[in-house]
Amino acid sequence: MAALHTLWMGLVLLGVLGVLQTQAQVQVSLQPNFQQDKFLGRWFTSGLASNSSWFREKKKVLSMCVSVVAPSADGGLNLTSTFLRKEQCETRTLLLRPAGTPGCYSYTSPHWGSTHDVWVAMTDYDEYALLYTTGTKGLGQDFHMATLYSRTQTPRAEIKEKFTTFAKTQGFTEDAIVFLPQTDKCMEEHK
């Protein structure tokens, strides 16, 4: 009987630890009093950090892309990004649906069909925004990404440092963080 009680207590403890670990993984702070209308407009993807194997393989050849954030009919956001892929400009639009608290969104991955959650963790609206995305891809593989959006193609050193600190706080290592090089290709698409 004592062994059964010990086993039961061990399972309860593991369950509690599992819940705490799951909650810790999504403990991303949100921009206080997020104002969606101020977040609209053109942004440059200046920095990325990800646990994705695809990202690790391709990060040396990635370059900055331009994104335009516009309101959608459902109260969310249309995020239209134009980027260089195989020497061609490619444009994709994601519908970011509101997910409760202002600054929280979700979207369906066009590639995997899974739902991803996006948090606007920090922004000053005029210069930078730090975003955190999480979801699954493929066969239940966890996906996490931190993104630095900048209103210009040359974010200040302090903004880059803020992004590096943010990414490390989310568990990314130095080698998983990249600042994307500027390119003139595909940047004229959304002036």
pLDDT tens readout for residues 23-33: 334 468 899 99
CA distance 159 to 102: 23
pLDDT in tens, 56-103: 777 777 889 899 999 999 899 999 998 887 778 889 999 999 998 999
| Domain 34-177, second-level architecture | Beta Barrel (2.40)
159-to-152, 154, 155 alpha-carbon distances in Å: 11, 10, 6
Distance between CA atoms of residues 187 and 167, nearest Å? 26
The pLDDT tens digits for 37-57 are 999 999 999 999 999 877 877
Tens digits of residue pLDDT in 103-161: 999 999 887 788 899 999 999 999 999 999 998 876 667 889 999 999 999 999 999 99
Which active-site residues does the annotation give?
A: 65
182 pLDDT band, cuts 50/70/90, is confident
Domain limits of the chain? 34-177
Q: What is the CA radius of gyration of the chain?
A: 19
